[in-house]
Structure 1
Amino acid sequence: MVKVELFSEFPNSREEKQALMEELYKAKGIDLNELLLRAHAQTLEEAEKRSLEGKGRGYMASTMSWNIRGELYKTYPELMQMDQHKRDYLMLGKNIRIYFKKLDNKYRPSNIVTKHVISLNTQQLLFRPSPITVLYAGFRLAARNSWDELEGCYLVEMKNLSRTFWISDLSMITAETAVPTRNVIIPELEPNNDLDVRIRKDVEKQTGEGETKVS
Structure 2
Amino acid sequence: MSTPSVEQLRFNMIEQQIRPWDVLDPEILGLLQKVRREEFVPPAHLGLAFADLMIPLRGRPDEAMRLGQVMLEPKMEARLLQEVSPRPHEKALEVGAGSGYMAALLAGRAQRVITLEIEPELAKMARDNLQRAGIRNAEVREADGSQGLAAEGPFDVIVLSGSVADVPQALLQQLKVGGRLATITGGEPVMRATLITRTGEATFTTAQRWDTLAPRLVKFPEPSRFSF
Q: TM-score, normalised by structure 1?
A: 0.29
Q: Compare relative contact order (CA 8 Å, sep 6+) and give the higher one, 1 or 2.
A: 1
TM-score when normalising by structure 2 = 0.27
